[in-house]
């Protein structure tokens, strides 16, 4: 059995090379669609990868892929046409991105597919019968027109949605298609892929319709396949494990997730942080013991259990990008039908140590970050409560499914956000956050019940009395109990404090 792989990538040629090394073996073929927006150096690096494996790896650059638009579907169709040109086509095609990674050898994937013949592995939910989207645009993705992109023209996007709701716009799908949705990523038989290509060519009104829908990569293939493939041949699940956070971003896997991934019955995982060097190296070496080939029910059960566990660690929610959701909508159920749920009251269960650095001079932040990151047991969170911004390291933002512009989510769910900062930090590390005087907020009171909290007032060498008073006033505004527990430490004593903390966990209790 020969397999084909489509990789959608736009940067990081080293990550693409690792994937090719593991996938382009034993007669398998790989088509890489490298985004036209990529730099010339990255483009040349990917072309060298293909030159090293002639006949096995093909690189194309046809479109600039934009999230939420038809270009993502178009890139996949271009890649499928490359397989169509081959004299011998693979038996299955697997679609993935450059940020995904195999967690099992390809040989085990082949064994699984041979045990489950005549199946296409793609999420395919009939949204007229069951909701697939959580807390956002569902059928409206297909009923409305979307001439504007959410990320580049947010105001125009929202205005168009509001107008079409008022006008009760209801577009009809061509050919009496039934709308289906599911994840963008799938593993399908070549005959099915060929039927999709033929359907696209024979019925141009269908792709034309989807070009003006929202996020068509999660509906085009699903809708077409539901039309042309018998239902019993569609396994409504994926061979790749992935999950979206309540903020609507893919859950990102890091070094400390290795034991979890080694237990997963799936064959691929989305998505792995490029900074997770230990995780990537272990997965790349594939030196683990052979694992049992999973059954279909095991894949579904493991997916549901792990996704539920991930959701437990996300204690706040807000509208997914591009989705509509009332600002007052919370996860909890409403007391009465049609009523909005009450605001969640979070009683902090934080039992881990937390370090809060109250800093008077912003110029000291760079040195505090250098000191913190030099200690492997500490996790620098930056300034998570900066005004109208979340000024955290990019890795920490990505880990939590946030961006610097997610401050509205933070401010709307402040108490939940405080707990989330700690929950999403690796358990082997102590979170360290910096707070300036103007960033004090009453919601931080949630930390005053944390037994292992260490609030530290970083004292400048030439601290003036009025500055100290301002800092104390800010601490009092947060919580008098936190002010009472705050330990003054001169800037040149932070290193010694961290070393004492890491050497003896009881250091926290002794500082009270």
Residues 108-140 pLDDT 10s: 999 999 999 999 999 999 988 887 776 567 888
Residue at 314 is within a domain: no
Task: Give the pLDDT band (50/70/90) at residue 340.
Answer: very low
Residue 49 in this model has a pLDDT that exceeds 90? yes
pLDDT digits (tens, 9 = 90+) for 168-198: 889 999 998 999 999 999 999 999 999 999 9
Q: What share of the chain is helix, strand, coil (3-state, %, to 5)?
A: 45, 15, 45
Assigned domain for 183 exists: no
Structural domain harbouring 466: 354-510
- Is position 413 within any domain? yes
Sequence-ordered list of residues with C-beta below 8 angstroms from that of 351, at least 6 positions apart, any chain: 450, 451, 452
Does the pLDDT at position 333 exceed 70? Answer: no
Range in 223-227, 294-298, 329-333, 435-439 the model is least confident about: 329-333
Residue 144: pLDDT over 50: yes
- The tally of domains found in the chain comes to 1
Q: For the domain that residue 431 is a member of, what is the CATH number? A: 3.40.50
- Does 55 fall in a domain? no
The reply to whether 455 falls in a domain is yes
For residues 480-495, average pLDDT? 83
What is the reported pLDDT for 469?
A: 61
Burial code of 41-79, b = ≥16 C-beta within 10 A, e = fewer? ebbebbeebbeeeeeebbbbbbbebeebbbbbbbbbbbb
The reply to whether 418 falls in a domain is yes
- pLDDT of 380: 94
Phi-psi region of 12 (alpha: psi -120 to 50; beta: other; left: phi over 0): left
Residue 439 lies in a domain: yes
pLDDT tens for residues 12-41? Answer: 999 999 999 999 999 999 999 999 999 999
What pLDDT shows up at residue 419?
78
Identify which has the larger pLDDT, 98 or 310: 98
pLDDT (mean) for 90-95: 97
Q: Is residue 72 part of a domain?
A: no
């Amino acid at each position: 059995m020969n397999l084909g792989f489509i990789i959608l990538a736009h940067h990081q040629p080293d990550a693409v090379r690792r994937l090719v090394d593991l996938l382009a073996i034993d007669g398998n073929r790989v088509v890489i669609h490298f985004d036209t927006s990529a730099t010339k150096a990255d483009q040349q690096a990917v072309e060298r990868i293909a030159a090293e494996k002639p006949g096995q790896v093909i690189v194309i650059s046809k479109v600039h892929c934009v999230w939420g638009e038809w270009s993502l579907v178009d890139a996949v169709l271009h890649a499928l046409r490359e397989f169509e040109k081959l004299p011998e086509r693979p038996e299955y095609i697997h679609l993935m991105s450059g940020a995904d990674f195999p967690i099992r050898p390809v040989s085990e994937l082949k064994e699984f597919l041979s045990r489950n013949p005549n199946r296409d592995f793609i999420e395919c939910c009939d949204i007229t019968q069951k909701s697939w989207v959580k807390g956002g645009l569902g059928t409206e993705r297909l009923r409305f027109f979307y001439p504007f992109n959410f990320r580049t023209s947010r105001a125009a996007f929202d205005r168009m949605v509001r107008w079409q709701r008022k006008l009760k716009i209801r577009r009809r799908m061509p050919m009496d298609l039934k709308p289906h949705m599911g994840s963008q990523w799938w593993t399908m038989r070549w005959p099915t892929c060929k039927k999709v290509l033929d359907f696209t060519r024979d019925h141009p009104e269908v792709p034309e319709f989807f070009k003006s829908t929202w996020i068509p990569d999660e509906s085009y293939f699903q809708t077409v396949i539901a039309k042309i493939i018998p239902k019993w041949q569609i396994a409504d699940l994926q061979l790749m494990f992935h999950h979206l956070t309540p903020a609507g971003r893919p859950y990102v896997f890091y070094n400390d997730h290795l034991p979890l991934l080694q237990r997963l019955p799936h064959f691929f995982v989305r998505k792995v942080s490029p900074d997770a060097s230990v995780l990537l190296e272990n997965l790349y070496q594939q030196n683990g013991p052979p694992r049992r080939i999973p059954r279909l029910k095991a894949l579904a059960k493991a997916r549901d259990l792990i996704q539920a566990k991930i959701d437990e660690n996300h204690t706040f929610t807000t509208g997914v990008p591009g989705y509509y959701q009332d600002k007052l909508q919370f996860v909890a159920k409403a007391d009465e039908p049609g009523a909005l749920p009450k605001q969640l009251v979070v009683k902090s269960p934080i039992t881990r140590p937390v370090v809060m650095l109250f800093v008077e001079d912003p110029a000291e932040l760079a040195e505090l970050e250098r000191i913190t990151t030099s200690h492997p047991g500490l996790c620098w969170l930056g300034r998570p409560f900066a005004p109208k911004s979340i000024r955290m390291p990019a890795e920490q933002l990505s880990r939590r499914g946030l961006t610097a512009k997610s401050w509205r989510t933070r401010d709307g769910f402040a108490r939940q956000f405080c707990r989330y900062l700690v929950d999403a930090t690796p358990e082997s590390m102590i979170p360290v956050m910096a707070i300036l005087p103007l960033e004090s907020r009453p919601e931080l009171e949630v930390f005053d019940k944390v037994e292992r909290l260490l609030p530290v007032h970083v004292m400048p060498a030439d601290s003036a009395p009025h500055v100290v008073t301002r800092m104390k006033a800010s601490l009092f505004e947060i919580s008098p109990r936190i002010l009472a527990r705050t330990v003054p430490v001169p800037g040149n004593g932070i290193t010694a404090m961290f070393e004492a903390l890491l050497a003896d966990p009881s250091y926290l209790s002794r500082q009270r």
